């Protein structure tokens, strides 16, 4: 019988995975709920500020996760999936990292181009570019399109995990669940 470490991700990887899910839900929720409040209201502004700060937290943690993933071995899926599924899983993982790094950068660029402050838990981060209202518009469009793609990726990822668990009955999901097998 294989040791737990060989059939599951490490505790740090598992913890970061699920924490990132909660963080991403919070990022999306802040932006969605902010539109429920009138423009200029304190609540709307506070939710947007939380959206910015949590989004930048995703950026920081994505780099940490990437370093951990590159420095550790991925536990094998048993039974092994077809090569095309492996390839698709890698493609989705790359897309997630592009979004987890790219969306916060696009948000930071948008705020910079609008000439707005970039808050991060009591700090004011520097602008990444000079104020440019024209650029702010198209960068924001890219940010919003990427965020919409994020819904699709999250749904695809969750559906694939459940498909593997309940239909294929392999260990794909169990490798990332907290606790013991």
Tens of pLDDT, residue by residue over 44-73, are 999 999 999 999 999 999 999 999 999 999
- Give pTM, 2 decimals: 0.91
How much is the pLDDT for 88?
95
How much is the pLDDT for 180?
66
Tell me if 177 sits within 8 A of 13, measured CB to CB: no
How much is the pLDDT for 1?
43
High-pLDDT (> 90) share of the chain, %: 93
d(CA 139, CA 135): 6
| Of residues 113, 106, 117, the one with CA closest to residue 141 | 106
Residue 26 in tokens: 């919070």
Q: Residues 22-38: what's their mean pLDDT?
A: 97
Residue 96 in tokens: 């997630």
Please write the tens of the pLDDT for every residue from 102-157: 999 999 999 999 999 999 999 999 999 999 999 999 999 999 999 999 999 999 99
Binned at pLDDT 50, 70 and 90, residue 5 comes out as: low
Q: List phi, psi (to 5°) of 98.
A: -60, -45
Sign of the torsion formed by the C-alpha atoms of 84, 67, 10 and 161 = negative
């Amino acid at each position: 019988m294989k040791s737990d470490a060989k059939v599951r991700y490490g505790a740090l990887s598992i913890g970061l995975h699920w924490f990132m899910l909660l963080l991403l839900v919070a990022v999306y929720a802040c932006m969605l709920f902010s539109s429920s409040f009138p423009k200029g209201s304190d609540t709307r502004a506070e939710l947007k500020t939380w959206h910015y700060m949590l989004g930048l937290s995703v950026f920081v943690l994505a780099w940490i996760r990437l370093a951990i993933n590159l420095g550790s071995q991925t536990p094998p899926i048993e039974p092994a999936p077809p090569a095309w599924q492996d390839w698709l899983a890698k493609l989705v993982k790359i897309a997630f990292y592009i979004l987890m790094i790219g969306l916060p950068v696009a948000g930071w660029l948008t705020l910079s181009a609008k000439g707005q402050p970039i808050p991060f838990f009591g700090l004011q981060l520097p602008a990444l570019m000079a104020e440019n209202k024209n650029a702010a518009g198209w960068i924001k469009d890219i940010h919003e399109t990427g965020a919409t793609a994020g819904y699709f990726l999250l749904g695809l990822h969750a559906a694939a995990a459940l498909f593997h668990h309940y239909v294929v009955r392999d260990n794909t999901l169990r490798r990332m669940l907290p606790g013991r097998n």
